[in-house]
Amino acid sequence: MDTASNQALRRALDLLIDPPVDPDTSKGYLDLLGAGSDAPKNSGTIQKWWASPVGSMLYDRAQLLNRRLLAVTRPPVDWLNIPSGGVVLDVGSGPGNVTAALARAAGLDGLALGIDISEPMLARAVAAEAGRQVGFIRADAQRLPFRDETFDAVNSIAVLQLIPDADAALSEMVRVLRPGRRIAVMVPTVGRGPVRLLSKGGARFFGQDEIGDIFEELGLLRVRTKSVGAIQWVRGQKP
Ligand SMILES: C[S@@+](CC[C@H](N)C(=O)[O-])C[C@H]1O[C@@H](n2cnc3c(N)ncnc32)[C@H](O)[C@@H]1O
């Protein structure tokens, strides 16, 4: 491990519950799913698409345009209140540009880690964004590999709709968040018209209060939801 991005992965190893004896970083990310996972799988068309080289490339281009045009698709970096030198987690990081934006907010001594299950997405993220303060890990959101109360902020954009056990993923995100720190997730809510067709591809839609209620059940404070069309942000703070 000698490149700049491997410095980030070396720091990431210190945050794991069960660090591997012989870590696989051969593809530029730390692969923790090489031996498989017992987490439930999404076998729908949309996740298959995000797990393919062509699908991940098309998603990467589309999300860049989306984020330029639609403010609601950008992460609430200021609200997350990331301290200088803080450690941030981006769950379902896809092409990794949001992870890199979170790292910039954490300053020169900060660290942002993106986790994803898709190898082509991780390959794109590593090529475009990996560096001294940005690292990527192949892991499942339903079984986060990190120790309790590790992160100064947790962010997840457009991922929970693809996760079979979204409650488990949310509970994991809150578990790894430090007390007093903030979490923000973006999900699609029950929509009208063509957007509903996405459910045929294995993506689910959440009720208006569903994620907010789960946040409260998990003990989060200052739970806020904001919906724009079928896109909803839910934010909360760990006591
Ligand atoms: C629509 S993309 C969003 C990517 C990124 N958050 C963004 O906003 O650009 C959804 C991502 O979630 C990932 N994903 C799906 N299920 C996952 C799981 N169980 N654990 C981790 N990542 C997952 C997919 O591989 C994909 O990269």
* Coil, helix or strand at residue 145: coil
Q: Which of 225, 228, 227 is nearest to 236 (CA)?
A: 225
User: Which of ligand 1's atoms lies nearest the C-alpha of 51?
Assistant: 25
Q: What is the pLDDT of residue 129?
A: 96
Nearest CA to ligand 1 atom 26: 94
- Nearest to residue 185, comparing CAs of 193, 177, 195? 177
Domain regions of the chain by residue span: 4-237
- The one-letter code for the residue type at 205 is F
- How far apart are alpha carbons 222 and 225 in whole angstroms? 10
| Ligand 1 mean position, distance from CA 117 (Å) | 7
Q: Is 140 in the pocket of ligand 1 (CB under 6 A)?
A: yes
Cβ–ligand 1 contact at 89 (below 6 Å):
no
Per-residue pLDDT of the chain (239 residues), as tens digits, is 446 668 999 999 999 999 999 999 999 999 999 988 899 999 999 989 899 999 999 999 998 888 888 989 999 999 999 999 999 999 999 999 999 999 999 999 999 999 999 999 999 999 999 999 999 999 999 999 999 999 999 999 999 999 999 999 999 999 999 999 999 999 999 766 666 666 778 888 999 999 999 999 999 999 999 999 889 999 999 99
- Measured CA to CA, the distance from residue 181 to residue 237 in angstroms comes to 6
| Topology adopted by domain 4-237 | Rossmann fold (3.40.50)
Is 187 touching ligand 1 by the criterion CB < 6 Å?
no
Nearest 5°: phi and psi at 226? -140, 125
